Chain A
Amino acid sequence: GQNIDQPTEMTATEGAIVQINCTYQTSGFNGLFWYQQHAGEAPTFLSYNVLDGLEEKGRFSSFLSRSKGYSYLLLKELQMKDSASYLCAVRDSNYQLIWGAGTKLIIKP
């Protein structure tokens, strides 16, 4: 079966750094996506990794290790507006996205 695992909820402090992990077991791999979803809103694209290594985009970075079936999203200099759910998704051998249940990130002042 196909499976994407993420922590259900994490709490962090404004200004700090947080790492959200994602492990996956899928039939084939054609890239991994991270999306942000604020409560009551649609998911929005954050990052895409298809090769091993770190992709940096401003305060957000995403890392991929294909051999370990592992990715993480790193958020630096946390702001209150970063309170949201973060969704990990893997594109499988059929080029369809398999989604994790998401990690709800709570930022405290």
Chain B
Amino acid sequence: IAGITQAPTSQILAAGRRMTLRCTQDMRHNAMYWYRQDLGLGLRLIHYSNTAGTTGKGEVPDGYSVSRANTDDFPLTLASAVPSQTSVYFCASSEGTSGDEQFFGPGTRLTVL
């Protein structure tokens, strides 16, 4: 592994189902982030983690939860998917939280029907 990986690449999901998007990084970065990207809108932060064991809410956290049990993994869970959660989801990481650039995973395209 080199960088950040996300799984699955794409998924079609029935409304009401539970879904976990996986994110793993091998750069030993302290901070990790989940964004959603919708057409015509900027990337919007869902949840973040500044270091293993801590998480925080971003701009659009409702309907999503995260955990950060270790440095490498940062899964995003949709407890009961709704069609408005149809989006492209990007996981990102950075070494710190100040001026460090964020490195992005390849994204997961999620469709909720």
Known A97-B45, A100-B42, A101-B41; contact A41-B106, beta-carbon cutoff 8 A = yes
**Alpha-carbon gap, A97 to B42, bound state (A):** 11
Query: Which A residues, 45 to 98, have Cβ-Cβ distances below 8 Å to chain B?
Result: 45, 48, 50, 87, 89, 91, 95-98
| A-B contacts at CB below 8 angstroms, number | 45
Chain B interface helix/strand/loop/mixed = loop
A4 at the interface (CB under 8 A from B): yes
Residues of B within 8 A of A48 (CB): 99, 101
Whether the Cβ atoms of B90 and A42 lie closer than 8 Å is: yes
Question: Is B102 within 8 A of A45, CB to CB?
Answer: yes
Chain A residue numbers with a CB within 8 Å of B40 are: 101
* Contact of A33 with B101 in the complex, beta carbons under 8 Å: yes
Known A30-B99, A87-B43, A101-B40; further 20 A-B contacts with Cβ < 8 A: A30-B98, A33-B101, A33-B102, A41-B106, A42-B105, A42-B106, A42-B107, A44-B104, A45-B101, A45-B102, A48-B99, A91-B99, A96-B45, A96-B48, A97-B43, A97-B102, A99-B43, A99-B44, A100-B42, A101-B42
